[in-house]
């Protein structure tokens, strides 16, 4: 059954002020409302498809870094569209969502370079702080936002399926240890990296049609991650990698090749695993052996690039 994991504390944020820039180099126009659709802000020069439709800045950053005589933050002083206030902003991460009434923004970048125009507004220290604290977002759902409006911060959510592929486990004659081990390690990784987690677990037999249906359900529901355990050997019922490769749009061979080589020198049987990593639509799929001992060995390596791959599949190059 699906179950959520714990998540870090949410921010308590408000919209302090709004502004837009109609042309490059022009002063930002302060506004009490802004109309948003999937292309951004009506009338703003950054309107259009892309990751940097909306610029946000916290008032504490603006008041600290800009050489304003009274050190009082005002909308547009950092060339931002939304000046925000409140607490807990340090927990904000890429792919988090910010809800302002009906409008929903998805954070795509934290840290913004100061342009030549911005350099006229602030000193060297300001540039440094802006590069760390400036925020960009894209519009997920349109709406009209207002100055003084509360902002609801929702942590990014990893939607995952953990599928144990085992005749004996599905029949109840063998305790499934690999699936729960993968689930526990995934939960720990999400907490350490500030992801919310929604995970569904299944135990199914080594049947091609049953696994195909589970994978197709994951693809159609746009699950972010599928981890399978079991069925990666060379036995007559070991079909997991074959089914995944047939469903995959792309393979990621380096990950599993490296894991096999890393452990194969000391444990030659590790080289017999046919585990694969793949992309299926917008879903990452990793096929792991059915041994509970192998689960942390594999996931320790997979986790090193997992977040990067999740960003890429969302259209975000984190380099």
Q: Are residues 272 and 175 in the same domain?
A: yes
- Residue ranges with strand state E in the chain: 3-4, 12-20, 29-31, 33-37, 40-41, 54-58, 82-87, 97-100, 103-110, 135-141, 143-146, 150-154, 157-165, 196-204, 225-229, 250-251, 277-280, 283-288
Is 0.75 topped by the overall pTM? yes
9: pLDDT strictly greater than 90 = no
Count of structural domains within the chain: 2
Within-domain flag for 39: yes
Within-domain flag for 96: yes
Q: Are residues 191 and 146 in the same domain?
A: no
Within-domain flag for 1: no
Within-domain flag for 2: no
Rounded distance between C-alpha atoms, residue 300 and residue 266, angstroms:
17
Q: Are residues 37 and 109 in the same domain?
A: yes
Average pLDDT over residues 220-242: 97
> Which of 251, 227, 221 has the alpha carbon at shortest distance from 240?
227
Within-domain flag for 318: no
Average pLDDT over residues 239-249: 98
Q: Are residues 128 and 230 in the same domain?
A: no
Q: Are residues 194 and 99 in the same domain?
A: no
Domain boundary among 154, 185, 204: 154
276 or 113: which leads in pLDDT: 276
Percent of the chain whose pLDDT exceeds 70: 84
Q: Are residues 173 and 185 in the same domain?
A: yes
Q: Are residues 276 and 177 in the same domain?
A: yes
Q: Are residues 148 and 192 in the same domain?
A: no
Sign of CA dihedral 16, 17, 18, 23: negative
194 or 69: which leads in pLDDT: 194
Within-domain flag for 63: yes
Average pLDDT over residues 5-26: 77
Within-domain flag for 319: no
Q: Are residues 237 and 294 in the same domain?
A: yes
Q: Are residues 167 and 307 in the same domain?
A: yes
Q: What is the pLDDT of residue 1?
A: 44
Within-domain flag for 161: yes
Structural domain boundaries enclosing 241: 157-313
206: pLDDT strictly greater than 80 = yes
> Which of 244, 259, 245, 253 has the alpha carbon at shortest distance from 291?
259
Q: Are residues 164 and 145 in the same domain?
A: no
274 — pLDDT class (breaks 50, 70, 90): very high
Domain boundary among 154, 170, 187: 154
Domain boundary among 127, 154, 181: 154
115 — pLDDT class (breaks 50, 70, 90): low
88: pLDDT strictly greater than 80 = no
CATH number of domain containing 214: 3.40.980.10
Q: Are residues 168 and 305 in the same domain?
A: yes
């Amino acid at each position: 059954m699906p179950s959520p994991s714990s998540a870090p504390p949410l921010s308590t944020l408000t919209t302090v002020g709004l502004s837009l820039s109609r042309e490059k180099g022009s002063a930002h126009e302060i506004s009490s409302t802004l109309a948003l659709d999937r292309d951004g802000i009506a009338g703003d020069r950054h309107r259009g498809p892309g990751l940097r439709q909306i610029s946000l800045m916290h008032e504490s950053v603006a008041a600290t870094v800009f050489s304003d005589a009274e050190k009082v933050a005002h909308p547009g002083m950092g060339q931002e569209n939304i000046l925000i206030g409140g607490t807990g902003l340090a927990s904000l991460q890429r792919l988090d969502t910010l809800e302002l009434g009906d409008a929903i923004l998805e954070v795509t970048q934290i840290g913004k370079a100061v342009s030549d125009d911005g350099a006229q507004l602030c000193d060297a220290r300001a540039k440094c702080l802006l590069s760390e604290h400036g925020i960009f977002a894209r519009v997920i759902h349109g709406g009209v936002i207002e100055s003084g409006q509360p902002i609801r911060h929702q942590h990014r959510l990893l939607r995952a399926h953990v599928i144990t592929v085992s005749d004996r486990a599905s029949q109840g004659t063998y305790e499934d240890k690999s699936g729960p081990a993968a689930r526990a390690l995934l939960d720990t990784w999400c907490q350490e990296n500030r992801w919310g987690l929604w995970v569904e677990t299944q135990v199914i037999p080594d049947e091609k049609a049953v696994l195909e249906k589970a994978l197709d359900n994951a693809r159609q529901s746009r699950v972010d991650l599928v981890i399978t355990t079991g069925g990666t050997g060379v036995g007559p019922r070991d079909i997991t990698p074959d089914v995944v490769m047939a469903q995959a749009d792309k393979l990621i061979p380096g990950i599993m090749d490296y894991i096999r080589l890393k452990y194969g020198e000391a444990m030659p049987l590790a080289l017999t695993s046919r585990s694969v990593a793949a992309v299926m639509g917008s879903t990452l799929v990793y096929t792991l052996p059915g041994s509970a001992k192998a689960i942390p060995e594999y996931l320790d390596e997979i986790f090193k690039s997992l977040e990067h791959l999740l960003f890429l599949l969302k259209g975000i190059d984190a380099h």
